[in-house]
């Protein structure tokens, strides 16, 4: 149960001893790929297929093998893969559909089964939004329309889509990779704008939603979204009715790393009914997170029950992939 709730990054371009350890000993539920893991299509396919086969040989469920392939500014796959200019260049549903179909085909070809896309953040025209170069734009209706088209295009072609970054970071100008932004907006502001694309994503059965590392004092005075029961549990699960995968953004980012120890972050993630903790770099935090999940489940019947529910959602998403166990 503990390992399935972890998605981890690693070093190397092949199924090495580190990756085998994460898969066999910690029984991680997923891995995420970065440029450091990619040399060329053949190597990438060998890496993904061998990791998936190794998980099966160990008797574990299939792996989520994820990547950030938004196009434009954030695209881990470069040539000879198709290089798209990014979300701001999309103006019609046909653009979004074409991106999703080509991307899904190329991800399937190399054994990747999850795309951390689309970005559903709305970038207002009146500020220098941190998401200006990654967003579909400033209009909630347009972002909803194009985002939903990407989700359908990916998922109808065998790739799980993870929409991000709930409940919306387009109004921020500070990069959460470096520190913790605060966005003091009212729930009414979010409902009128930022939440609309995520509601559209839920309506078209998006597989997962990624939480932002942003503090919204109007929603939770203490915790950022990625650690917040008020946002992940009450708003996303209860109010919006989302029963798919809820995933943190990378816990190695400065917004979390500079302010919260990993064991405390994991405690909050479990309280908030968040399914998957994302840790994108090799290091002791992966082991600490694994052990903290085990410890909390052993000490709390509520955490254990919620953990079982999380694993059921994870396994249900893996069943959508049709990978033989």
Which residues are annotated as catalytic? 177, 249
> Which tokens sit at 215?
């503090």
The interaxial angle of helices 284-299 and 262-271, nearest 10 deg, is 40
Residues 226, 212 contacting (CB under 8 angstroms): yes
Residue reference for tokens 């489940």:
297
Instruction: Please give the Cα distance from 159 to 253 (Å, whole number).
Output: 26
- Cα separation, 283 vs 34, whole angstroms: 16
* Chain centre distance of CA 166: 10
* CA distance readout (Å), 225 to 81, 148, 251, 304: 34, 22, 12, 22
- HEC-encoded secondary structure of 61-123: CCCEEEECEEECCEECCCCCCCCCCCHHHCCCHHHHHHHHHHHHHHHHHHCCCEECCCECCCC
Three-state DSSP at 127 gives coil
Which candidate, 123, 164, 162, places its Cα nearest to that of 142?
123
Tell me the C-alpha distance between 63 and 44, whole Å: 15
């Amino acid at each position: 149960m503990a390992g399935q709730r972890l998605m981890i990054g690693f070093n190397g371009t092949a199924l090495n001893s580190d990756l085998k350890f994460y898969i066999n000993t910690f029984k991680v539920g997923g891995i995420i790929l970065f440029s450091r893991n990619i040399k060329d299509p053949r190597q990438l396919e060998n890496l993904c297929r061998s990791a998936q086969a190794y998980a099966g040989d160990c008797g574990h469920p299939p792996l989520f093998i994820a990547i950030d392939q938004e196009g434009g500014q954030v695209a881990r796959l470069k040539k000879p893969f198709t290089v798209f200019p990014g979300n701001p260049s999309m103006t019609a549903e046909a653009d979004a559909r074409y991106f999703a179909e080509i991307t899904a085909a190329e991800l399937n070809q190399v054994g990747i089964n999850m795309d951390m896309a689309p970005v559903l953040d709305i970038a207002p025209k009146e500020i220098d939004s941190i998401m200006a170069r990654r967003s579909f734009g400033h209009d909630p209706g347009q972002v909803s329309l194009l985002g939903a088209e990407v989700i359908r295009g990916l998922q109808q072609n065998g790739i799980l889509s993870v929409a991000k970054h709930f409940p919306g970071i387009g109004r921020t100008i500070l990069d959460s990779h470096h520190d913790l932004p605060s966005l003091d907006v009212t729930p009414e502001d979010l409902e009128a704008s930022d939440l609309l694309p995520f509601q559209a994503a839920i309506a078209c059965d998006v597989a997962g939603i990624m939480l932002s590392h942003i503090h919204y004092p109007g929603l939770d005075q203490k915790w950022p979204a990625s650690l917040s029961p008020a946002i992940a549990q009450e708003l996303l699960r209860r109010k919006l009715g989302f029963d798919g995968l809820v995933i943190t953004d990378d816990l190695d980012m400065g917004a979390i790393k500079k302010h919260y120890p990993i064991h405390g972050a994991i405690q909050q993630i479990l309280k908030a009914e968040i399914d998957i903790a994302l840790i994108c770099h090799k290091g002791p935090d992966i082991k600490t997170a694994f052990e903290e999940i085990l410890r909390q489940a052993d000490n709390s019947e509520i955490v254990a029950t919620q953990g079982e529910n999380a694993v059921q959602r994870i396994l249900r998403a893996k069943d959508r992939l049709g990978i033989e166990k």
